[in-house]
Amino acid sequence: MVTLAGTGLVAQDNSYQRTLKALEQYRALAAEDDRGILPSTKKPVEPGEHYAGVPRLTRLLERIGDLPTGNRPADSDLYDRALVAAVKSFQARHGLEPDGRIGKTTLEQLNTPLDFRVRQLELALERWRRLPYDSSRPAIVLNLPEFRLRAFDRGYRPALEMKIVIGRARRLKTPLLSSKVDAVIFRPYWNVPLSIQRNELIADIKRDPSYISKNDFELVTARDAVVAQEDVSDKLLMQLRSGKLRLRQRPGPKNALGLVKFEFPNEYNVYMHDTPAKSLFGRARRDFSHGCIRLERAEDLAEWVLREEYGWPRDRIVAAMQGTESITLKLTHPVPVMTVYVTAVVQESGKVHFFEDIYGEDAALEKEIAEAAAEAGITSDEPGRRPRE
C-alpha cells in the first residue's frame, strides 16, 4: 500500500502497532476465506429458525473469532443459541444493534469481503500514521465513525471513554480538526445559529405561539438585549427570519447544550457539550446533531479536563452544573483535542471493530492514495472494494 507524508508519532501510538498486527491477521484470513455469500431472506432470520446460510455463517464466524471453534450446530441449518451469540458479537464489533437477528444490514456486513476489511485496516494505519498527536501531553481524541471519545493522560495512557453524538451524514458533518479546549462553561446559554432559527424553530413557533416560553427561549437583539413580548407577532417572526432578532435559550435542564459546554477555537464554530437528549446514546449509530459533539457523560469529561485546575474537584463541578448562574472558566492548561476518522479500531484485547464510512472519508483517502500511486508509477489492484448492492 502506498502511504503519504504525515506527521503522526506512530512509534508512541499503541493504536498503530495494534492495527498493524490486526492487518497481518486479516490478510491471512482473507487469503483463507472461501468467499461464500450468505443468502438473503424476505424477513430477518430469527433465533431458532432454520436458515440455508448456517454452514457458511458458521465457517465465517469461527474464522473471524466470534464463534468458538467446535460449536457447529448438530442441525446443519438451525440458527441455534451458539450462533445467535456469535452474531451478537459480530454485530457489536461492526457498529450494529446486537439483537441477534440477521436482517438486511447485518447480512450486508456479513457478506462484506474480508479483503474489504483488510483495506479498512490499511486506511486506519495511514490515519494513525498521520495523526498529529504528541503523547507527552494529555489529549482528547474523538473518533467520528465510531461515535466515541477517548481521553488520554501523558504517555498515551487511557483515562476516560464515552459515547458521543456527531453531525448528520451528508449535510451536517462534524469536521476533522485539531485544536485545544480552552474554556469550560457551566450552565451555558445556547445562541441558536441562524440556519436552525430559520429552517427549524420559526416553523415550531408558528405552530405553537407558546413554544418560546415552554422551551426557555428569549428573543435578543444583535447586542444581546432581551426583547420583551407577550406573544410572537408576525412582525417579530419577520425579524427572526431576517436575523435582526435572534433566539437564545436560557441555561437550565431544557437547554440544548445541557449543563456544560467545552469550547475550542476552530473555523467551524463547533464545540462539545452536554445534552438533555440522553436516549440517543442507546443507538448504535449516532449521527444526529447539527455538527457539534454531544457527550454521554459531560460531567466526567469536565472533571478530567479540570483536574489540574486548582479548586475544581468533582463536587464543585456538580454544584456549578446544578447552580443558578452561568460560569465561564478559562483554562490555565488548555487541553489538545482532535477529531479523527478511523473505521477499523483495534482494542487493547486485540478485538477489531469496524464501522461504516458514514462521511465518505475513507473513499476520499483511498482515492488520494491511488492518485499518489499513479503519479509514482505504481500499479495496484486496490483490493477490498465492497461489491455493488
* Positions marked active-site: 273, 292
Which residues are 152's β-sheet partners? 139, 158
**pLDDT (0 to 100) of residue 73:** 62
Nearest to 186 by CA among 244, 263, 238, 110: 263
Query: What count of Cα atoms within 13 Å lies in the side-chain half-sphere of residue 155?
Result: 1
Q: Tens digit of pLDDT for each residue in 48-80?
A: 999 999 999 999 999 999 999 876 766 689 999
pLDDT at 61: 95
What does the alpha-carbon distance between residue 94 and residue 65 come to, in Å, rounded to a whole number? 13
Query: Can you give the pLDDT at residue 178?
Result: 94
Mean pLDDT for 292-296 is 98
Residue 7: pLDDT over 50: no
Please, which residues have CB within 8 angstroms of residue 5's CB and are 6 or more apart in sequence?
none
Task: Please name the residue ranges forming H helices in 33-113.
Answer: 54-63, 81-93, 104-110
CA neighbor of 176 nearest in space, from 184, 167, 165, 188:
167
C-alpha torsion sign, points 215, 220, 225, 227: negative
**What residue type is 271 in one-letter code?**
Y
Cell of 28: 491471512
> 328-384, pLDDT tens digit by residue?
999 999 999 999 999 999 998 999 999 999 999 999 999 999 888 888 877 655 444
385 pLDDT exceeds 60?
A: no
Give percent of the chain with pLDDT exceeding 70.
92
Angle at 269 between CA 264 and CA 273, to 5 degrees: 60
List the Cα angle 123/128/134 in 5-degree steps: 165
**Using CA atoms, how far apart are residues 282 and 57, in angstroms rounded to an integer?**
28
Residue 277 in this model has a pLDDT that exceeds 60:
yes
pLDDT single digits (tens) 123-180: 999 999 888 777 778 999 999 999 999 999 988 889 999 999 999 998 899 999 999 9
For residue 225, give the C-alpha cell.
438585549
Cβ-based neighbours of 23, under 8 Å, separated by 6 or more: 118, 121, 122, 125
- CA gap 40, 331 in Å, rounded: 55
